[in-house]
Homo-oligomer: A and B are copies of this chain.
Amino acid sequence: MKDKIKIGIIGGSGFTGLEIVKILSMHKYVEIKFVTSRTYKDILVSDAFPSYMDYGSSNLTFIEKPAKNNFKEIDLVFLCLPPLKSMEFLKEINYDYDFKVIDVGSDFRIKDPDNYRYWYGTEHVLKDMLQDFTYGLPELNKNKIKNSQYVANPGCYPTSVLLGLAPVLKKSGLKITNINIDSKSGVTGAGRKLKSMYLFSNMDNNFYAYSANDHRHIGEIEQEIENLSGKHFNICFTPHLLPINRGIFSSIYCKMENKMNEKGYIEEICDHFKEFYKDSPFIKFTGTEIPQLKDTVGTNMCLIGLCVDSRTNTLKIFSAIDNLVKGAAGQAVQNMNIMMGFDEKEGLISSGIFS
């Protein structure tokens, strides 16, 4: 039996932090040493959030701030903080530690400081560390993650988009001329913000686009498209809000130079997707069946399906994830598993809960 590794969670009362706590409670080789929350300090996690079930065994309690000593004993820390706060945290503790770090926030995803400034509107305060962080999309980057001390967990939209796009970008002979992405997210994607737009009375029976012009995830997606394909694309990306709690469904439209109506074409692409993800336990390629969002709720899976519109020479790729699991907490635990040498699936094998 392996020893349990020791974990700290900074920012444990947001949707993502709490989801990590929930997932780790089913992980065989992990012990949570501390989880922080200013709002709920000194309160049992299971009292603050009754949906966290500790089955009498944990008594896990939020603390406001870990002491120096707390950091000494841990093997890995998850940072679940708003923009700008992860780098502040790391700057403050100033390399005085040797634990591994998974930043579930957005501070270390974009590698180029100018690009960071463009999308986040502010100067990065730890530019030197940007290159230390591996972009933690395990299906595309597993070997690098395995040997990293620092991992930047991808954003929820980029996860859903890049997993759908990667096989196309990596297939020789395919020429994409234009990429248009229409994504739809459940409201937990916005976190626990107390804004009137997120009231039940405003969101139920509702649907709309937002940040239609300038969502920060565009920079992250374009960076990784370039890493995958060696080519820069300006993508057209439009996020929308769904009247559900969990899930992102991305409709990815790739206009192709290749004629897409030749016989056998679709089979070839499907075979390529299957091959591409044959060692990825969290990808389920559904071929020309379109995936349904509900199937992913509560799981770390990404479902991907596609079809070809020969009239407009467009390859349509549809991907579905649970934004809080594969789009955040589950992927973070998947990264931890890889960094720590555990089975990639440990703690992450729940099926979906809807039908």
Contact = CB atoms under 8 A, between A and B. Distances in A.
A234 to B, nearest CB: 5
Interface in A225-244: 234-236, 238, 240, 242-244
Contacts of A244: 204-207, 243
A314 interface: yes
How many monomers of this protein are in the complex?
4
B353 A353 contact: yes
21 contacts: A18-B355, A22-B351, A26-B26, A50-B291, A50-B292, A51-B299, A51-B353, A53-B284, A53-B352, A184-B240, A192-B355, A194-B196, A204-B245, A204-B294, A204-B354, A205-B205, A205-B246, A206-B292, A206-B354, A207-B244, A209-B318
Interface of A: 15, 18, 22, 25-26, 46, 49-53, 55-56, 178, 180, 182, 184, 187-188, 192, 194-196, 198-210, 212-213, 234-236, 238, 240, 242-247, 249, 251, 253, 255, 281-282, 284, 286, 290-295, 297-299, 301, 303, 307-309, 311-312, 314, 316, 318, 320, 345, 349-355
A51 B295 contact: yes
A209 B26 CA distance: 31
Contacts of A255: 178, 236
B236 A240 contact: no
A205 B15 contact: no
A51 B352 CA distance: 5
Contacts of A199: 192, 194, 198-200
A242 B242 contact: yes
Given A200-B203, A209-B290, A213-B316, 12 more contacts: A50-B291, A51-B294, A51-B297, A51-B351, A51-B352, A55-B282, A201-B354, A208-B293, A209-B249, A236-B255, A240-B249, A242-B242
A198 B282 CA distance: 28
A205 B294 contact: yes
The 8 closest A-B pairs by CB, nearest first: A51-B352, A206-B294, A200-B203, A182-B182, A22-B351, A51-B295, A50-B295, A236-B312
B318 A212 contact: yes
A56 to B, nearest CB: 5
B355 A26 contact: no
A50 B197 CA distance: 13
A282 B322 CA distance: 26
Contact of A207 (B180, B209, B247, B312): B247
Contacts of A352: 50-53
Nearest to A193: B199
A329 B196 CA distance: 22
Contact of A349 (B26, B188, B207, B251): B26
A212 B290 contact: yes
A251 B53 contact: no
Contacts of A282: 55
Nearest to A293: B207
